[in-house]
Amino acid sequence: MTARDLPFLESDRIIFKLYACEEHLKNLKNIKSKYGDLLAKGARIPAEMEVDSLLSQMIGIFDSLLLRINDRFQLGISIDKIEIEKVLSVLSSETKGTELAHDLDQVNRRGNLYWMIKHLRNYTMQHSLLSADASLFTSETRMVFVEVIPYFEQTLVRLRSFIDNLKEKEPILQ
């Protein structure tokens, strides 16, 4: 995020939430740098809070995107009823939104970007993503552990790329 992006933080909630994700990730890195381990005494609680906040902001990016799609494509979905399945249903019935609907459907499929973010956020409602080796559980069907910080760095790059690609394909979403 650069200084030139800052004026958009008030008017573009997607950019704001991407910025917030970057800040939470930076905070997580600072915790690891300060304590050497995310599970060290004094590090665990702040690390858990940053992980939860980061996941919430990632979900918020999709929520903001869905609200923008509803608005710009004039889908007519009530704000309190916005969810990806409803947006997909209405977009699929519109001739002008079929490619966008396809992209949203793909990212929402099991194991893909949005599905995984939702899965991890839901997992944190009952469990910690941080383990004894500062890893996180990323699959229901088999145990796959990856380091927390690189995983979130990679996820954030994929998320930004997804948003940028959608905006390029659908200029109305700018």
- For the cut 90, the answer to whether the pLDDT of residue 32 exceeds it is yes
Higher pLDDT, 145 or 73: 73
Domain count, the chain: 1
Query: What pLDDT, on the 0 to 100 scale, is given for residue 98?
Result: 84
Domain range enclosing 123: 8-173
Amino acid at 99: E
Evaluate whether residue 1 is within a structural domain: no
Evaluate whether residue 72 is within a structural domain: yes
Evaluate whether residue 2 is within a structural domain: no
Evaluate whether residue 3 is within a structural domain: no
Higher pLDDT, 138 or 38: 38
Evaluate whether residue 69 is within a structural domain: yes
Average pLDDT over the chain, rounded to an integer: 87
Q: What is the mean pLDDT of residues 115-123?
A: 90
User: Do 65 and 163 contact (CB within 8 A), yes or no?
Assistant: yes
Q: Bridge-partner residues for 137, per DSSP?
A: 145
Q: What is the mean pLDDT of residues 111-129?
A: 89
Residue of 51, 52, 108, 109 lying closest to 83 (CA atoms): 108
Higher pLDDT, 19 or 139: 19
- For the cut 90, the answer to whether the pLDDT of residue 5 exceeds it is no
